[in-house]
A = this chain, B = another copy of it.
Amino acid sequence: MADSIASPTERTHRAAKRYIYAFGGGRAEGDAQMRDLLGGKGAGLAEMTIAGLPVPPGFTITTEACNAYFEAGERFPDGLWEDVTEAVTEVERETGKRFGDPASPLLVSVRSGAKFSMPGMMDTVLNLGLNERTLQGLIGLTGNERFGWDAYRRFIQMFGRIVMGIEGERFDAALDAAKEKAGARTDTDLDAAALRELSAEYNRIVREATGRDFPGDPQEQLELAIKAVFASWFGKRARDYRKFNKIPDDLGTAVNVVTMVFGNMGSDSGTGVAFTRDPNTGEKVLYGEYLTNAQGEDVVAGIRTPQKISHLQQDLPEAYAEFQQIAARLEKHYRDVQDLEFTIERGRLFMLQTRSAKRTAAAAVKIAVDMVAEGIIDRAEAVARVEPAQVDQLLRDQFDPAARRAATRLAAGLNASPGAAVGRAVFSADTAVEWVERGERVVLVRIETSPDDFHGMAVAQGILTARGGATSHAAVVARQIGKPCVAGCAELQVDYAAQQASANGVTFRQGEEISVDGSTGEVFLGALPTVSARFEDQPELQQILGWADGIRRLQVWTNADKPEEAAQARAYGAQGIGLCRTEHMFREGERLEIVRDAILVAFQATRAKERRAAGEPLGDDDRAAIERFDAAMAKLERLQQGDFEGILAAMSGLPVVIRLIDPPLHEFLPNHESLLRQVVTFEAKGTPEDDPDYVLARTLYRAAESMREQNPMLGLRGIRLGLMIPDFVKMQTRAILNAAIAVKRAGRDPRPEIMIPLVGHVNELRRTQELLEAEARAVIERAGDGIAYKFGTMIEIPRACWVADQIAELAQFFSFGTNDLTQMTFGYSRDDAEGGFLLKYVEEKILPYNPFQTLDPVIVDEMKMATDLGRRARPDLEVGICGEHGGDPESIAYCHRIGLNYVSCSPFRVPVARLAAAQAALSEAAERDR
């Protein structure tokens, strides 16, 4: 590029910073790799030009020029304008047109184009270069006066609004006035004279608004337009978009200056957009629409109905054939489905944009599989092309999109657990069970849910709550059992007494059908039709996941408490159970009563047994407590053994990690506050002391009171509970091992792993291990039959991470409980924080994201330290994660990097995790190759 006026120092500067990359005539200075510098659009134009595709000549001003512009205090950096002028000259040479030449005027479009597509950053300025004189040239060239004046008034309008900052309404008002005056219904009804008059009016508006004439000089127009594009980078819309999408401010935007081509020069002209394959289904057909005799904005404006792209074959067969061929070439070149813009000017095809196409989940999977079959990409690339969220989406039922649009939206809450649910509204868990038993589908509607509602949630199609956040009981349980859930729907008033609920003036009663979309948080009145999605019916998805299995290093296990869940997870490809929560078995139906019975006397019975062991005498009361406790524990043992047999059989041949009882005991009692209310009400009403209901309420209240803790999260639970009440450990050990022995005798291959929760100090684990192993030896001796089992621990207390080497001396496996680990490392109570300050923290970006959803880097550091220390003490230590993070793709990538053996997640996340684990392995390999 010539450089006649730059000083020597400027030369040096400009040698380091090249601000302009031209393209045209089959040559381009940039290419597809230069997205950083040229933006996505500029890189695409250069690449297409190199590939010999018909691209109107033009040039791209780099993102560096944009940054230099701001560094210089919103002034063009030295030499930039000279280079622009020169590049324009080059385009003039290429096209044979000239800026401001009435005989053959050069018109250009000016567009922003950042590295990442940023919709809404800046509109396009078309037809730049027009003025009263060049307009005449355009009219002369096209022989179409109306076209000329229309182009001119559009240019003033667009440039005035976008570049000069004049309110668009002023131009709109003038246009409306012109139409009224002419009696015109639409813009197209205005004739050339009317448009000329309108142009004059527009010019007047510009003068009035800016105090100056509309700039007629194309050079000045160009300068102002470039500056306007630069300025748009720091416009409010662009800044907000970047903030939301975590795009850095210092990327800058490129500016593309491209020779205008006109799709509105008659019936042999046209413009359109098209995808190389159907972005909804993935089918291999050209998909898109176009209009003849139109400019780009007309396709969008909706004044005329565009034609399907296939019709172009009839309208302009040659252009269509060329386009078809170009589309195929571009798809092959970019090795992905392309989203194309084109214009046909008097039969001649011009390509204006190519970029990778957005697509639905179903299309993403089909396209990836098809492209492997077609030899375009390999399996690894196919695996990389599908987003984990798309896999999740494919496994959820969805409402039919058309029906959704037609339905009455009742309210919106939090999209707590994805999927579509339809059923009759019921307001209690018992009613839910009752109605389901008689064959109804129900949606459970509650103000909020508690563990007492579990049986109702389990049978409901979906759950709707008025209160509670993304980690309320309803949300967490719903995700766990794979039920759609809308939580925290604040607009909803639930009236249990009247058995009805209302929102926004609409009321529905028990039994009325409602539809709940857990993916969007919407609630509809009536039964919307759904589109179902079974894993078994999606061979292409299974194909992708099969390829993923060949790539990933991480195993994928599941969190499951019941045989049905285990079987479901196994069908989804789970390679083991990483977390079986025994206490969930305590909560169902009649069991809760047995558990409460045991808990009411657990401490007394344990102390009495200690005294008995020390040879001290016992009172009647103590002996009765022991008897009652032992009886309840014996019942529980039988029930738990049955449960374990089911799970171990379902997972025959695969490991099953069973966690001993974890939550504090008062979680199994009725709520302390409701008991207090009862007791105080009895008191205030002067109820006789021996009234049986009063006695029961007092007994339960006293028990709840004695077990109440100020901070239960940091209280008596997990291993602490097992050390305080050793019978829990012994009973559960017997139940697990006897179950394993029974399953083994039935010819299956049970692989139990016993996991101790909440270990902080190695001595806690040592004592528990002694207790447990003594019991295990006794079981095996009694049975006369050996059974192998592993002994391991959760790592969920920060302290445990620091002493993981000591712990690994005893534990054969670690499983990270990242929910507790996050709670304690941050000092957050998840229940309190997520509904409160944590929401604000994430909203205001004090935290980059919710650490309960994706692992925080410090938690990863702790996990890495624990893993490394643990393996130092025991090289074959098995390490996994069983917190909710185990199903989160970003967290899975962390787990891969620090070398875990497996992630364990809820059954419905298993396919997602399989894909995410493979992608983590691919990213790592890519980084290594770099």
- In the complex, identify which listed stretch (A449-457, A628-636, A761-769, A776-784) lies at the interface while the others stay far away: A761-769
B interface footprint on A704-743 (CB within 8 Å = 1, 0 otherwise): 0000011111111000100110000000000000000000
The residues of B that contact A326 with a CB separation of less than 8 Å are none
Residues 665-684 of A at the B interface (beta carbon under 8 Å): 673, 676-677, 680-681, 683-684
The residues of B that contact A802 with a CB separation of less than 8 Å are 858, 861-862
The residues of B that contact A836 with a CB separation of less than 8 Å are 715-716, 724
From B723, B799, B825, B846, give the contact of A764 (CB < 8 A). Answer: B846
Contact in complex: B761, A827 (CB < 8 Å): no
From B709, B825, B831, give the contact of A829 (CB < 8 A). Answer: B709
Contact in complex: B724, A840 (CB < 8 Å): yes
Contact in complex: A827, B680 (CB < 8 Å): no
The residues of B that contact A712 with a CB separation of less than 8 Å are 710-711, 829, 832
Contact in complex: A827, B858 (CB < 8 Å): no
Q: Tell which of A683, A714, A802 has the most Cβ of chain B within 10 Å.
A: A714
A828 is an interface residue with CB less than 8 A from chain B: yes
Contact in complex: B831, A710 (CB < 8 Å): yes
Complex-state Cα separation, A684 to B684, whole angstroms? 6
Contact in complex: B681, A837 (CB < 8 Å): no
The minimal Cβ–Cβ distance linking A675 to chain B, given in whole angstroms, is 11
From B681, B714, B825, B845, give the contact of A799 (CB < 8 A). Answer: B825
The residues of B that contact A803 with a CB separation of less than 8 Å are 858
Contact in complex: A837, B720 (CB < 8 Å): yes
The residues of B that contact A828 with a CB separation of less than 8 Å are 714, 760
The residues of B that contact A764 with a CB separation of less than 8 Å are 841, 846
Complex-state Cα separation, A861 to B802, whole angstroms? 8
From B685, B711, B763, B844, give the contact of A714 (CB < 8 A). Answer: B711
The residues of B that contact A826 with a CB separation of less than 8 Å are 760-761, 797, 799
Contact in complex: B829, A820 (CB < 8 Å): no
Contact in complex: B799, A833 (CB < 8 Å): no
A398 is an interface residue with CB less than 8 A from chain B: no
The minimal Cβ–Cβ distance linking A296 to chain B, given in whole angstroms, is 38
From B673, B715, B841, give the contact of A832 (CB < 8 A). Answer: B715
Complex-state Cα separation, A29 to B140, whole angstroms? 126
A200 is an interface residue with CB less than 8 A from chain B: no
The minimal Cβ–Cβ distance linking A803 to chain B, given in whole angstroms, is 6
Residue of B nearest to A680 (CB): B680
B interface footprint on A789-810 (CB within 8 Å = 1, 0 otherwise): 0000000111100110000000
The residues of B that contact A677 with a CB separation of less than 8 Å are 676, 680
Residue of B nearest to A711 (CB): B829
Contact in complex: B714, A833 (CB < 8 Å): yes
Contact in complex: A710, B829 (CB < 8 Å): yes
The minimal Cβ–Cβ distance linking A18 to chain B, given in whole angstroms, is 37
Contact in complex: A713, B711 (CB < 8 Å): yes
Residue of B nearest to A803 (CB): B858
Contact in complex: A827, B714 (CB < 8 Å): yes
A177 is an interface residue with CB less than 8 A from chain B: no
The residues of B that contact A683 with a CB separation of less than 8 Å are 681, 684
Complex-state Cα separation, A676 to B677, whole angstroms? 8
A823 is an interface residue with CB less than 8 A from chain B: yes
The minimal Cβ–Cβ distance linking A107 to chain B, given in whole angstroms, is 43
Complex-state Cα separation, A803 to B859, whole angstroms? 11
The minimal Cβ–Cβ distance linking A706 to chain B, given in whole angstroms, is 11
A824 is an interface residue with CB less than 8 A from chain B: yes
The minimal Cβ–Cβ distance linking A448 to chain B, given in whole angstroms, is 13
Contact in complex: B825, A798 (CB < 8 Å): yes
From B824, B846, B862, give the contact of A761 (CB < 8 A). Answer: B846
Complex-state Cα separation, A716 to B832, whole angstroms? 8
**Count the A residues whose beta carbon is within 8 Å of the partner chain — how many?**
54
Residue of B nearest to A765 (CB): B846
Residues 835-864 of A at the B interface (beta carbon under 8 Å): 836-837, 840-841, 844-847, 856, 858, 861-862
Contact in complex: A716, B684 (CB < 8 Å): no
The residues of B that contact A767 with a CB separation of less than 8 Å are 844, 846
Residue of B nearest to A797 (CB): B827
Q: Tell which of A720, A758, A833 has the most Cβ of chain B within 10 Å.
A: A720
The minimal Cβ–Cβ distance linking A435 to chain B, given in whole angstroms, is 32
The residues of B that contact A713 with a CB separation of less than 8 Å are 710-711, 714, 827, 829
The residues of B that contact A761 with a CB separation of less than 8 Å are 826, 846-847
Contact in complex: A832, B714 (CB < 8 Å): yes
Complex-state Cα separation, A712 to B709, whole angstroms? 11
The minimal Cβ–Cβ distance linking A770 to chain B, given in whole angstroms, is 12
Contact in complex: A827, B798 (CB < 8 Å): yes
Complex-state Cα separation, A685 to B684, whole angstroms? 6
From B673, B715, B796, B847, give the contact of A676 (CB < 8 A). Answer: B673
Contact in complex: B829, A715 (CB < 8 Å): yes
From B724, B831, B846, give the contact of A837 (CB < 8 A). Answer: B724
Contact in complex: B827, A825 (CB < 8 Å): no
Contact in complex: A858, B799 (CB < 8 Å): yes
The minimal Cβ–Cβ distance linking A771 to chain B, given in whole angstroms, is 12
The residues of B that contact A724 with a CB separation of less than 8 Å are 836-837, 840
The residues of B that contact A758 with a CB separation of less than 8 Å are 827
The residues of B that contact A723 with a CB separation of less than 8 Å are 837, 840-841, 846
The residues of B that contact A847 with a CB separation of less than 8 Å are 761, 763
The residues of B that contact A711 with a CB separation of less than 8 Å are 710-714, 829, 831-832
Contact in complex: A827, B824 (CB < 8 Å): yes
Residue of B nearest to A827 (CB): B797
The residues of B that contact A825 with a CB separation of less than 8 Å are 797-799, 824
Complex-state Cα separation, A534 to B676, whole angstroms? 50
Say whether, besides A826-B799, A840-B724, A715 and B833 are in contact (CB < 8 Å): yes
The residues of B that contact A680 with a CB separation of less than 8 Å are 676-677, 680-681, 684
The residues of B that contact A797 with a CB separation of less than 8 Å are 825-827
Q: Tell which of A684, A710, A798 has the most Cβ of chain B within 10 Å.
A: A798
Complex-state Cα separation, A837 to B758, whole angstroms? 13
Contact in complex: A827, B833 (CB < 8 Å): no
Complex-state Cα separation, A831 to B711, whole angstroms? 8
Complex-state Cα separation, A827 to B837, whole angstroms? 21
B interface footprint on A163-198 (CB within 8 Å = 1, 0 otherwise): 000000000000000000000000000000000000
Complex-state Cα separation, A856 to B760, whole angstroms? 12
Complex-state Cα separation, A767 to B845, whole angstroms? 11
The residues of B that contact A820 with a CB separation of less than 8 Å are 827
Complex-state Cα separation, A511 to B347, whole angstroms? 111
Complex-state Cα separation, A568 to B709, whole angstroms? 37
The residues of B that contact A709 with a CB separation of less than 8 Å are 829, 832
Say whether, besides A825-B799, A832-B710, A763 and B846 are in contact (CB < 8 Å): yes
The residues of B that contact A684 with a CB separation of less than 8 Å are 680-681, 683-685
The residues of B that contact A681 with a CB separation of less than 8 Å are 680, 683-684
The residues of B that contact A715 with a CB separation of less than 8 Å are 829, 832-833, 836
Complex-state Cα separation, A826 to B684, whole angstroms? 43
The residues of B that contact A846 with a CB separation of less than 8 Å are 723, 761, 763-764, 767
Residues 805-820 of A at the B interface (beta carbon under 8 Å): 820
The minimal Cβ–Cβ distance linking A10 to chain B, given in whole angstroms, is 39
The residues of B that contact A837 with a CB separation of less than 8 Å are 716, 720, 723-724
Complex-state Cα separation, A824 to B844, whole angstroms? 26
The minimal Cβ–Cβ distance linking A709 to chain B, given in whole angstroms, is 4
Say whether, besides A676-B673, A676-B677, A681-B683, A827 and B710 are in contact (CB < 8 Å): no
Complex-state Cα separation, A723 to B141, whole angstroms? 66
The residues of B that contact A862 with a CB separation of less than 8 Å are 802
Residues 743-772 of A at the B interface (beta carbon under 8 Å): 758, 760-761, 763-764, 767
The minimal Cβ–Cβ distance linking A821 to chain B, given in whole angstroms, is 9
A-B contact pairs, 18 of them (CB 8 A): A676-B680, A680-B684, A684-B685, A709-B832, A710-B711, A710-B832, A711-B832, A712-B832, A715-B832, A716-B832, A716-B836, A723-B840, A763-B847, A764-B841, A764-B846, A799-B858, A824-B824, A824-B825
Known contacts A680-B680, A713-B827, A714-B832; 17 additional CB pairs below 8 A are A681-B683, A684-B684, A709-B829, A711-B711, A714-B823, A714-B827, A715-B833, A715-B836, A720-B837, A760-B827, A763-B846, A764-B841, A796-B827, A798-B798, A798-B827, A799-B825, A824-B827
